Amino acid sequence: MAMQTVRVLNTTKGTVLGDSIAVADTSLRRMVGLLGRTGLQPGTGMLIIPSQAVHTIAMRFPIDIVFGDRNGRVVHVQPGLVPNRVSGLHWRARWVLELPSGAIAQTGTAVCDELLIED
């Protein structure tokens, strides 16, 4: 079965974080994540639900990470997490959005911004 994709909008800033974001909402999909990929194209990424932390162990490229709460509010951003690192644990987060490196700066996404996830 194909992985569901969603569009993620920053309604606070009026920007699009991605229009083809894969949803990892099962144990297997969360475990595999972005492993095996050589990079992320603009507009793509992965939404991991539920999650409060991620790692880039065995990944080949840096990623931007956005942590969101149950209401869609950004609780933490971590731009440019390089391979073989672990993000911090964010207790208020309910999901994590992994994006191409530079996406946070390009969209102006910051803590307290409101994000909308569309099917």
**CATH number, domain containing residue 23:** 2.60.120.1140
Q: Report DSSP state, residue 31.
A: H
Question: What's the total number of domains in the chain?
Answer: 1
> Would 8 be classed as within a structural domain?
no
> Would 2 be classed as within a structural domain?
no
Among 58-62, 71-75, 94-98, the range scoring the smallest mean pLDDT is: 58-62
> Would 4 be classed as within a structural domain?
no
> Would 6 be classed as within a structural domain?
no
Report the candidate in 78, 76, 73 with the shortest Cα–Cα distance to residue 116.
Answer: 73
> Which residues contact residue 93 at a Cβ distance below 8 angstroms, ignoring those fewer than 6 apart?
51, 52, 53, 67, 68, 69, 75, 76
% residues pLDDT > 70 (the chain): 98
Alpha-carbon distances, residue 67 vs 1, 2, 36 (angstroms): 27, 25, 23
Q: In DSSP terms, which residues pair with 78 in a beta bridge?
A: 65
Query: Residue 51 in 3-state DSSP?
Result: coil
> Would 36 be classed as within a structural domain?
yes
Question: Which range of residues forms the domain containing residue 37?
Answer: 15-118
pTM of the model: 0.94
